[in-house]
Structure 1
Amino acid sequence: MSKGTIYGVGLGPGDPDLLSVRADRLVRGAGHVAFFRKAGRPGQSRRIVEGMLRPDAVEIPMEYPVTTEIPLTDPRYNACLSDFYTGCTAKLRTLTEAGEDVVVLCEGDPFFYGSFMHLYTRLKDEVQVEAVPAITGMSGAWTATGQPMTWGDDVLTVLMGTLPEEDLIRHMGAADALVVMKIGRNIDKVRRALKAAGRYEAAWLIEFATMPNQSVCRLAEAEGKVTPYFSIIVVHGQGRRP
């Protein structure tokens, strides 16, 4: 094992006040801070920690080579991202071999659909690496609706909007409580699936949960609206209660 440690630090859904005590301590004390971002953008995880970093902290932006430019089904998509993550791990490994600790900023929880997982699996057998858990984005979203998400024996189903429409319909129809993530350009497909599954009227759309520009409304009231990347749809469970 190398001398330094890599910390995948979960930052929660967006509000800096929702960081854990440990995450706050690691972020404020970090000498090297790495974070993912889209080319030409500051990066959401970096925005969350604005004003928290040491003045002498070395920032390491890791810019995705592709996001939506290539379809997920195109073999080039995975190949391109695989090369990207391999390059990122090499850079972080070099720092730990020199005895440096590195904090990797992670939106939400690092082990819940996060990019950090791809670094972790490549590094865990060679480098001292730890994941610091956090409040998930979906938790921030359903809390923003002001309604409990699950009751009694409700089964919570989490779906990606990138799934084929027939798969969405099948899972939505079987779910008690439902979360749909990765909406963006998949919104029309998700709407159709919710309608086909009979869940559309009960669905809520939450944008930028816990952030200053948070927006919460019934999905049916947002017809024709273009949803940003940080959008989540929830359908609350209605299960057993006293």
Structure 2
Amino acid sequence: MTVRAVQVIAGADVIAYHSARHGRSIARSIAAEHLRADHIEEALIYPVTTESTDHPGGYRGALDEFYESAAARLAVHLDAGRTVAVISEGDPLFYGSYQHMHKRLAHRYPTEVIPGVTSVSAAAARLGKPLAEADEVLTILPGTLPEEELTARLASTDTAVVMKLGRTFPTVRRAMERSGRLPEAHYVERATMTGERTEKLADIDAETVPYFSVSVVPSRIADLPPGTATSTETATTTETATATATAGEPSGHGEVVVVGTGPAGPLWLTPESRGALAAAEDLVGYTTYLDRVPLRPGQRRHASDNKVESERAELALDLARRGRKVAVVSGGDPGIFAMATAVLEVACQAPYRAIPVRVLPGVTAANAAAARAGAPLGHDYAVISLSDRLKPWEVIAERLHAAAGADLALALYNPGSRSRTWQVGKARELLLEHRAPDTPVILARDIGGPEESVRTVHLADLDPHQVDMRTLLIVGSSQTQAARREDGTEVVWTPRRYPEG
């Protein structure tokens, strides 16, 4: 208890506290030595806790009625001029029972809220492990969340505390395991109180877990060996990084995770991808994509240009072969014109066949651009790269003819660059053989980035000079519509229904 809390209890006329129907109150037991015989005690006893109720308003209705009644009981004392101290374990406004009194009384009577030590802080202190350091993000979660939500949030955060275990423990444990956080997770029961227990979460029997327990996933930075650099080491060339990776004998237990960053920055990352990037010991990727990932102490970065995909894949697998947890960073979705293919090609060769490889989905540029424009890919569509670096133009032209002849909307990746200036013009000519001149074409550039722009033109008016490597083109089908709304914005969509023949 804080000094101020002791002072307030000493000066109060009435001591109020919540309890279950058994009448025992943890809050009262903490404050017991400071209570006087002349204190008026108001035990606010919940009508239900976890059991069912026949109240006409259900569980929520029963509690709301109780809170109204409890507030009215305290108001009688306040109207009589008595000072009321509502005692609450932890902090009153942190998952505390008092907050329901606060909502009903604080606007009517002078109120002071005395902050307390939360179970989160107490648990960290008992474990002797920092909750967060430097730029780490701490997430506090109620165990009552659905398992999928818990899993996603645990995967995406740096450190976490899960409250309200008890009956939720099996769900919380599964979420920890699914998110990959179980090895880091600790269990704390009744921190600072009689019966305190601390163990690794993985070792806990679910049948022994009370409500007043928490799970803690502490700071990763704090667990780094003394002297670990607080800034990221960087291998500036693939050759240097490869030499470092292949030194020594394979040690096993490593893995490669291929992660897509989406078309731009953190807003496009999935929770699973965010967690994989945070957990990695080494990041391998094209410099531009690596720059999207926040710096983390202890991580090594192996950056290279965009023309050495196979070398990057081999480097990542060599690092994993030595026992390292490696994230290969890719743009968009790693399986769409990106790094997943390169990694898997190498991973299927000796000596890498035994190394675990996972591919995590990301937001691909076509979907991001389509969302900005409306829903131009709302029906069947094809995805084609206009780059002829890895396949001949004749193959590209044949596929454009086939997709356009089938009346598919098209998402065209890699339409042009400084060295490829004629492909967009050729594609436009070919598509005009199948599509009307006024077919909507979306030019989506730098989606999610600082220079984002989305424009719609007619196919006949598509200017190749307005297209570069950072642009994605979406060409509508014969059914695609474009309309201007009252706010001046233009939206493009392709109906889900197709006309009958």
Distance 2:79 2:207 in 1: 49
Structure 1 residues 13-24: aligned runs within 5 Å: 19-24=1-6
Judge which range, 116-125 or 182-191, deviates more. Answer: 116-125
1:151 equivalent in alignment to 2:166: no
Give the corresponding residue for 1:46. Answer: 28
Q: Is the 8 A contact 1:30 1:53 kept in 2?
A: no
Q: 2:118 aligns with which of 136, 139, 143?
A: 136
Evaluate the alpha carbon distance shift between residue 158 and residue 80 of structure 1 in structure 2; reply closer, same or farther with a 3 A threshold: same
Give TM-score, length-normalised by structure 2. Answer: 0.43
Q: 2:42 aligns with which of 60, 65, 74?
A: 60
Give the corresponding residue for 1:9. Answer: none
Distance 2:104 2:31 in 1: 26
Judge which range, 86-95 or 127-136, deviates more. Answer: 127-136
1:109 equivalent in alignment to 2:91: yes
The residue type paired with residue 169 of structure 1 is T
Structure 1 residues 146-225: aligned runs within 5 Å: 146-225=128-207
> How far 1:147 sits from its partner (Å)?
1.3
Question: What is the Cα-based RMSD across aligned positions, in Å?
Answer: 1.7
> How far 1:225 sits from its partner (Å)?
4.2
User: Taking CA–CA contacts closer than 8 Å with sequence separation of 6 or more, which of the two structures ends up with the larger relative contact order?
Assistant: 1
- Helix, strand or coil: the match of 2:103? helix
Distance 1:126 1:26 in 2: 20
Q: Is the 8 A contact 1:156 1:177 kept in 2?
A: yes
> How far 1:51 sits from its partner (Å)?
2.2
Give the corresponding residue for 1:89. Answer: 71
The residue type paired with residue 211 of structure 1 is M
- Helix, strand or coil: the match of 1:99? coil
Size of the aligned set, in residue pairs, is 222
The residue type paired with residue 64 of structure 2 is S
Q: Name the larger-Rg structure.
A: 2
Q: 1:70 aligns with which of 32, 46, 52?
A: 52
Distance 1:26 1:158 in 2: 29
Evaluate the alpha carbon distance shift between residue 75 and residue 83 of structure 1 in structure 2; reply closer, same or farther with a 3 A threshold: closer
Q: Deviations over 1:199-221 (max 9, x none)?
A: 01110000010113211110112
The residue type paired with residue 152 of structure 1 is A
> How far 1:237 sits from its partner (Å)?
1.9
Unaligned runs of 5+ in 1: 1-18
The residue type paired with residue 237 of structure 1 is S
> How far 1:75 sits from its partner (Å)?
5.8
The residue type paired with residue 44 of structure 1 is I
Unaligned runs of 5+ in 2: 223-228, 231-501
Distance 1:163 1:151 in 2: 26
Distance 1:181 1:156 in 2: 13
The residue type paired with residue 36 of structure 1 is H
- What fraction of aligned residue pairs are identical, expressed as a percent? 38
